[in-house]
Amino acid sequence: MPPELPHYRSFATPLVRFSPSSSPEAHLIIPVSCKSFKGNKIMKIPGRKIMPLLVFILSTISILRLLRIATTTKSSTSLLPALPPTMQHACHSSSTKCSAVSSNISSSPPTQQNSSTSATILTKKEFKLLSNVIKHKAPCNLLIFGLSAQFLKLSSINSGGTTIFLEDDPDRISSIRAKSNSTLIYKFDYHVPAKKAYNLLKHARESQDCAPSSGRLQNSTCKLALTNLPGEVYQQKWDVVVVDGPSGHSPEAPGRMAAIYTAGMIARAGHTTDVLVHDVDRTIEKWFSWEFLCDENLVSSKGKLWNFRITSKPNSRTFCTEKIAFLV
């Protein structure tokens, strides 16, 4: 009789066993023993240990996002031009108006205008149009409202002709020197702020003193007439007149109303005069050009520069054949 052995289950027991059936696949039995998975352990991390880790990760992400937003805001703010004093006052008095002004500034492309200067810088295409007009007529009589180093090139193009600049900024006059004896620079002060443009336009429409047939410009009683210009301005017949001054960059700054009106009067007292107005994207320049230079005389344009060609009509009672139907 064989000796008794302790009862145990051998690990050598086969895991696959077939029943005595005709189809072994139908009775495939795979016994699962807990002891067969004894070596596989699942690592569990207590919640108390994982929470500080998650808080640290989320805090780090938040700090990085705040740093990125701060850097972006700083760089974009530095590109915005400062508001003029009048606009700053408007912001304090009306939060809605301030928001509108800020939105307009941020959506607009940066300009080359300096609030202390009388003119913006012409683009390459604008300057080409202006210089081509002068080349076609040179040597000629050239009158320019405004002054910049860029405009001195026009004086060189008009070699042999007469060029006169009218500028209200003494610093600009002192920094720019004429290189020709036929180029004269006069300091001329404009006393009418841009905010009075609407009332002046109504006055010009209602008063016969502002009509082209009202007589000599220097003796005019029209509120838009520049009657104290240098004597040479009234004595010459001007071939080209350029209006790019005064600045007109804010309601309190001198506007170009009188300069555009005077250019229209000068042109009608000559033979055939080209009048070029810059910054026509601004309301005053656009209104007064339509009123006193007339859309029917517009021969070319480039960018923010309009070129009007006006023939002599000193006895005309109106500036334009077709009446402009705005601001009535």
- The residue type at 120: T
Element (H, E) at 298: strand 298-302
Cβ 293 vs Cβ 308: under 8 Å: yes
pLDDT tens digits, one per residue of 7-52 = 444 444 444 444 454 444 444 444 444 444 445 555 555 666 677 7
pLDDT tens digits along 142-168: 999 999 999 999 999 999 999 999 999
Question: What does the pLDDT read at residue 40?
Answer: 52
Neighbours of 257 (CB within 10 A): 28
Q: How far, in whole angstroms, is CA 131 from its chain's centroid?
A: 24
- The top-level CATH class assigned to 140-311 is alpha beta
pLDDT at site 313: 77
Strand partners, 233: none
DSSP for 73-130 reads HHHHHTTSPPPPHHHHHHHHH-HHHHHHHHHHHHHSPPP---TTSS-PPPPHHHHHHH
Asked whether the beta carbons of 263 and 257 are under 8 A apart, the reply is: no
Query: 14: helix, coil or strand?
Result: coil
d(CA 92, CA 147): 34
Tell me what pLDDT residue 46 has: 62
**Predicted local distance difference test score (pLDDT) of residue 48:** 66
Predicted confidence at residue 45, as pLDDT, reads 56
Q: What is the reported pLDDT for 66?
A: 73
- E-strand stretches of 148-291: 162-167, 183-187, 240-243, 272-278
Residue 255, both tokens: 């506007």
Question: What single-letter amino acid sits at 234?
Answer: Y
CA distance 306 to 284: 14
164 pairs with which residues across the strands? 143, 184
Q: Residue 135 — left, alpha, or beta (φ > 0 → left; ψ -120 to 50 → alpha)?
A: alpha
Strand partners, 310: 273
Q: Which residues of the chain have pLDDT under 70?
A: 1-49, 69-119, 314, 323-328
Predicted pLDDT at 56:
82
The answer to whether 133 and 307 are in contact (CB under 8 A) is yes
Query: What residues contact residue 253 under an 8 Å CB cut-off, 6+ apart?
Result: 115, 193, 194, 246, 247
Tokens of 107: 């959506």
Q: What is the DSSP letter of 165?
A: E
> Which residues touch 127 (CB under 8 Å, ≥6 apart)?
150, 153
Residues, the chain: 328
pLDDT at position 288: 97
Domain boundaries, the chain: 140-311
